Amino acid sequence: MANSNLSNAKNAKNDEFYTQYQDIEKEVNAYLEYNPDVFKDKTVLLPCDDPEWSNFTRYFAQNFERLGLKKLISTSYAIESKKYKTDWQPTLFETENPLFNADKSRVCGKIFVLDHDTNANGRIDIDDLQWHYLEGDGDFRSAEVTALRNEADVIVTNPPFSMFHEFLAWIIETDKQFLMICNKNSVTYKDVFPLFKADRIWSGRTEWSGGMWFETKYKEDVDKVVDGVDMKNVASIWITNIDHGRRHQPLPLMTMADNLKFSKHKEIRGKESYEKYDNYNAIEVPYTDAIPRDYDGVMGVPISFLDKYCPEQFEIVGATESEGRGFSNGLWDEKSKVSQPLINGEKQYKRLFIKRKL
């Protein structure tokens, strides 16, 4: 019980990381470079946000005209409904506004909408955002926020970590365009991996290595302080179904013979051949940059391959068993009864299986 309370508290805290402006800008720029009209005339919804201070709202509101948006909607979750309790006070923005309602402030979510020049200064920007309280608490699963999802063309957010699976399902059931942040380890879960395998979702532009830095409000979570802001590093990545250029750049790779002769990795250089798994019909490639470009069979590669995956170059054919037997695509030797990949009886890391196309 104590343990589950602890882990609930940890998950709840992980729900409250705030994304940096430059991380959003860098990621969104990649979609704009690939297709300058990607957001043109679109309605963008930012659910699970805190629009008074969120950088998602700031970025999309400030760039409303440059992106050619039709409408921006962002919603927040009521403080009383948040799992992690803090000594929260409403912002001055809220209390000094004629719409302020002390009864609703703690229990209702808020909606912010931007779609026209309200102050007649000749441009549409953050100063034109209009807001009111939602009927409910702003839960993304509510009928109210679901109706906004249905109205939107593109959904962008960093959703609560503890509800990632529910949030992804809520997005995927619509076929809307989306861009969101999730934990790196989520990609092999049984509800996520099949979407990668079917090319229905893919990694965003930002590289996976080094994780991402978020603002945190919890002192015990701080990894560094930048300009007085408490920051936490999390193994987070962007996932999306919006196209960008990096995913169409094939990895520069060597032949198998050259890898065996010249690879910088001691596990490969000087060997006669790549190792084969005992219990999967594939060769082991322990590093993405050691994938041989001329091998026609199935290869087991690290999960982080997805960061470099170019669908014109490779096909994803399966994954090792950790999150469900269904992924191995007939490559697994069931008699081994061991779901992790084995080499000479030794367990290896979780792997994806790929085959070359080019």
Both tokens of 234, joined, read 């999390």
313 binds ligand SAM (CB under 6 A): no
18 binds ligand SAM (CB under 6 A): yes
d(CA 40, CA 238): 21
Residues facing residue 19 across a β-bridge: 214
Residue 137-176 contact track with ligand SAM, rule CB under 6 A, x = bound: -xxx----------------xxxx--x-------------
Closer to ligand SAM by CB, 21 or 262: give it: 21
Among 38, 51, 54, 279, the residue binding ligand SAM under the rule CB under 6 A is: 54
Sheet containing 352-356: which strands, arranged edge to edge?
283-284, 299-301, 352-356, 314-319
**Residues near 334 by Cβ (< 8 Å), separated by ≥ 6?**
none
Residue 125-144 contact track with ligand SAM, rule CB under 6 A, x = bound: -------------xxx----
Q: What is the largest CA-CA distance in the chain?
A: 76
Instruction: Give φ, ψ of 29 to 5 degrees.
Output: -55, -35
Among 56, 133, 164, 305, the residue binding ligand SAM under the rule CB under 6 A is: 56
Closer to ligand SAM by CB, 11 or 322: give it: 11
Nearest distance from residue 93's CB to ligand SAM, in Å?
Answer: 16
**Residues near 165 by Cβ (< 8 Å), separated by ≥ 6?**
186, 189, 191, 192
Residues 241-300 that bind ligand SAM (CB under 6 A): none
Measured distance between the N- and C-terminal CA atoms of the chain, rounded to whole angstroms: 53
57 binds ligand SAM (CB under 6 A): no
Closer to ligand SAM by CB, 19 or 313: give it: 19
Among 26, 42, 71, 82, the residue binding ligand SAM under the rule CB under 6 A is: 82
Residues 208-237 that bind ligand SAM (CB under 6 A): none
d(CA 135, CA 109): 8
Dihedral sign of CA atoms 159, 160, 164, 170 in order: negative
d(CA 321, CA 105): 47
Closer to ligand SAM by CB, 25 or 199: give it: 25
Closer to ligand SAM by CB, 110 or 308: give it: 110
Contact residues for ligand SAM, defined by CB under 6 A: 15-19, 48-50, 54-56, 77, 82, 138-140, 157-160, 163
